[in-house]
Amino acid sequence: MDANNIKIGTKFEIEIPENNKNSDSSINYSSQLIDVIDSKTISIVAPMNEGRFKFLTRGLNIFIYYLNERQDLLFFKAIVKGHRKNGPLDAFDITIDSEVSKIQRRRYYRLDVALSCQYVVNDEQLLGTDKLEFPKINNSQLKTAFTKNISGSGFCLNLEEPLDSGTILDITINLDNTALIRVFAQVIRSIHIQSKKYEVGMHYLKIDPRDSAILTKFIFEQQRLILKNTLQAKMK
């Protein structure tokens, strides 16, 4: 990676893994590129989180995420080289320690995850209005399923019944116990896997903007966690 390809002023998101290697948690900070020292060394303004600056110790491993001019989401691993003053700013020199990698856009990135769902087949006529209204459902009508994967545009369900193409589901998805979202989704394909097992591809017909934002955040955080664990494994 050549640091000269990053434009001065680019906004960075700095991820600092916790010291406990068995922990999946990390803390994220906002920063900015203020100088390119050479092809492998950059200088960033002191990272900030919730109005507080973070001092980066020498030798600390961090992950840096940013958007390029084409709005591609990129990241690389880096090591803190040291602290210095850049005029009135506290700055940190950073050594780039990996190639830059592109993260697939969040809306179309398919996250492989088994999420619990409850659904009922819906009448297409209920979707004749632009207003998003979910009907009341008797719990006895609900069926249970699990996702095989999910993205910002749709998901794949593991079911024990076939569903015809075009079938509409009123479905609530449990985002790993962090939130519940409810959507109208339509079957675009159904594949018989074995015995009474089916994989059913769905796309969203209607989703509340708030639920869409919650889903996007969930997928992105899971994606970042996978990337972080992969990079940490390579560091060992």
Joined together, the tokens standing for residue 70 give: 């084409």
Handedness of CA 218, 221, 227, 230 (dihedral sign): negative
Domains of the chain, residue spans: 3-103, 111-218
> What percentage of residues in the chain have a pLDDT greater than 90?
40
Identify the pLDDT of residue 136.
Answer: 85
The CATH code belonging to domain 111-218 is 2.40.10.220
pLDDT in tens, 190-217: 888 888 899 999 999 889 989 988 998 8
pLDDT in tens, 99-127: 888 765 555 678 899 999 999 998 655 55
| Position with higher pLDDT, 92 vs 18 | 92
DSSP calls for 187-236: EEEEEEEETTEEEEEEEEEEE-HHHHHHHHHHHHHHHHHHHHHHHHHHH-
Band of residue 157 on the pLDDT scale cut at 50, 70, 90: very high
C-alpha R_g of the chain? 22
Q: Model pTM?
A: 0.57
**Residue 152: how many CB atoms within 10 A of its CB?**
20
Q: Which CATH architecture has domain 3-103?
A: Roll (2.30)
